[in-house]
């Protein structure tokens, strides 16, 4: 939905199962329309943050399917303004973890998939609305990215920027791609973000098209896990001339690593998603990073006196909820991001709520049905944004 200052808010449909287009569309009909009916004023267009796997994108690209979907959007008074292009393949009910980074941007398949997402988005966008696609931060640190792989990543991103530019020139649309820093991604902090874009500049020093079409998807969960302060991080990124393509509103788990909390944390260990952990011992010492929750818990078992004073865990918590007990969330980073956006509403038009962990959430954090949870996230988010004169 459109808010003040030309902002658009939606939730990411990656919370619902759906790898084929038929399954994806069924999820929109079964869940998204219910959410719309409960949060959107009658007669007001409702914005969708669409998730398409590579298979679903290829199927939707068939002319009959695409025409049918466009007619459905018009009939339901809905519109697509952003697409989540991070997960290429299956995203529910099976091991996702490192596979969500594959293929990475060193592989031609990632370029082909992302270009197709922009082709679809350009066709679906209503007049006067900009369009964004979010994607992974190039690759993952465990994939062994060397000079050759980095050059391939830059080559494919450069080609993608040309594809987006061609679409934009032909249609007059404002289209852009947002690379999404994530813990243990090729770049994960605001500092590593600047380094990545700086290395691109070293290779292509006068590439204005790239910086017009390729920017950042700032996920508030991910940067909070890195112990970053939102105003400093966002000022640092935008001050360097990096486009802010989209904001992901999300919240992570935080806790003091006491024996009691670590025992409870084992209940959050599940086999589908990566739950990277970053531990801080003090502000004067380097952060300690763990690939996944089992590695962090094993370290705590082996080194009980070296667990630090705070852990932040990549486990998405519903925006409106707090985990309770002696657990906390990184909601303060999300609220700080809203404060920054209230001061700079022109910096980013797209906001997507992203709590994809519904199927693996502990029962105590679920709010009735998935529709109930999404409605509560909208209510909480819109209330906070109204307080900041953003809605």
Report whether pLDDT(97) > 80: no
pLDDT tens by residue, 39-56? 999 999 999 999 999 999
For 23-33, what is the mean pLDDT? 97
pLDDT tens by residue, 226-261? 999 999 999 999 999 999 999 999 999 999 999 999
Report whether pLDDT(340) > 80: yes
Given a contact cutoff of 8 angstroms between Cβ atoms, the answer to whether 376 and 266 are in contact is no
Q: Indicate the range of 8-12, 169-173, 306-310, 356-360 predicted with least confidence.
A: 356-360
Domains (range + CATH), the chain: 4-254+329-387 (3.20.20.150)
Give the per-residue pLDDT at 136: 98
What pLDDT band is residue 16 in, cutting at 50, 70 and 90? very high
Tokens representing residue 11 in the block: 């939730």
Report whether pLDDT(93) > 70: no
Number of neighbouring beta carbons within 10 Å of residue 67: 11
Given a contact cutoff of 8 angstroms between Cβ atoms, the answer to whether 180 and 354 are in contact is no
Buried b / exposed e over 99-137, threshold 16 CB at 10 Å, is ebbebbbbbeebbbbbbbbbebbbbbbeeebbbbbbbbb
Residue 281: which of 300, 301, 298 has the closest Cα?
Answer: 300
Give the per-residue pLDDT at 191: 98
How far is residue 64's CA from residue 46's CA, in Å, rounded to a whole number? 23
How far is residue 306's CA from residue 177's CA, in Å, rounded to a whole number? 40
Q: Indicate the range of 44-48, 272-276, 361-365 predicted with least confidence.
A: 361-365
pLDDT tens by residue, 61-74? 999 999 999 999 99
Report whether pLDDT(92) > 80: no
| Global pTM value | 0.96
pLDDT tens by residue, 281-319? 988 889 999 999 999 999 999 999 999 999 999 999 999
Give the per-residue pLDDT at 119: 98
pLDDT tens by residue, 128-176? 999 999 999 999 999 999 999 999 999 999 999 999 999 999 999 999 9
Report whether pLDDT(96) > 70: no
Give the per-residue pLDDT at 32: 98
How far is residue 369's CA from residue 363's CA, in Å, rounded to a whole number? 11
Give the per-residue pLDDT at 363: 85
Token pair 């009959």 is found at 64
Give the per-residue pLDDT at 17: 87
């Amino acid at each position: 939905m459109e808010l003040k200052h030309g902002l658009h808010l939606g939730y990411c449909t990656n919370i619902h199962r759906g790898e084929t287009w038929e399954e994806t569309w069924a999820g929109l009909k079964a869940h998204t329309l219910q959410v719309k009916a409960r949060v959107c004023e009658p007669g007001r267009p409702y914005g969708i943050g669409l998730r398409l796997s590579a298979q679903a994108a290829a199927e939707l690209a068939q002319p009959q399917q695409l025409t049918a979907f466009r007619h459905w959007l018009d009939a339901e008074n809905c519109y697509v303004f952003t697409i989540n292009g991070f997960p290429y393949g299956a995203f529910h009910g099976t091991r996702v973890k490192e596979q969500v980074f594959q293929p990475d941007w060193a592989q031609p398949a990632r370029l082909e998939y992302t270009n197709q997402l922009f082709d679809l988005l350009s066709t679906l966008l209503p007049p006067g609305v900009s369009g964004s696609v979010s994607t992974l931060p190039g690759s993952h640190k465990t994939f062994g990215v060397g000079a050759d792989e980095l050059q391939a990543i830059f080559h494919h991103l450069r080609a993608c920027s040309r594809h987006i530019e061609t679409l934009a020139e032909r249609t007059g649309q404002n289209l852009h791609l947002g690379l999404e820093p994530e813990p243990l991604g090729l770049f994960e902090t605001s500092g590593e973000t600047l380094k990545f874009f700086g290395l691109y500049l070293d290779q292509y020093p006068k590439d204005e098209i790239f910086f017009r079409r390729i920017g950042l998807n700032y996920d508030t969960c991910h940067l909070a896990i890195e112990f970053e302060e939102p105003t400093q991080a966002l000022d640092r990124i935008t001050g360097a001339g990096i486009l802010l393509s989209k904001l992901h509103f999300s919240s992570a788990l935080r806790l003091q690593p006491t024996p009691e909390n670590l025992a409870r944390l084992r209940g959050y260990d599940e086999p589908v998603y990566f739950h990277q952990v970053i531990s801080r011992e003090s502000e004067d010492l380097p952060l300690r990073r763990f690939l996944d929750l089992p590695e962090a818990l094993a370290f705590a078992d082996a080194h009980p006196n070296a667990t630090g004073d705070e852990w932040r865990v990549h486990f998405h918590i519903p925006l409106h909820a707090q985990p309770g007990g002696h657990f906390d969330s990184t909601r303060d980073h999300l609220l700080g991001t809203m404060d920054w956006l209230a001061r700079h509403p022109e910096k980013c038009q797209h906001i997507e709520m992203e709590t994809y962990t519904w199927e693996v959430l502990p029962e105590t954090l679920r709010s009735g049905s998935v529709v109930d949870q999404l409605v509560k996230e909208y209510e909480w988010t819109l209330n906070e944004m109204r307080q900041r004169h953003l809605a």
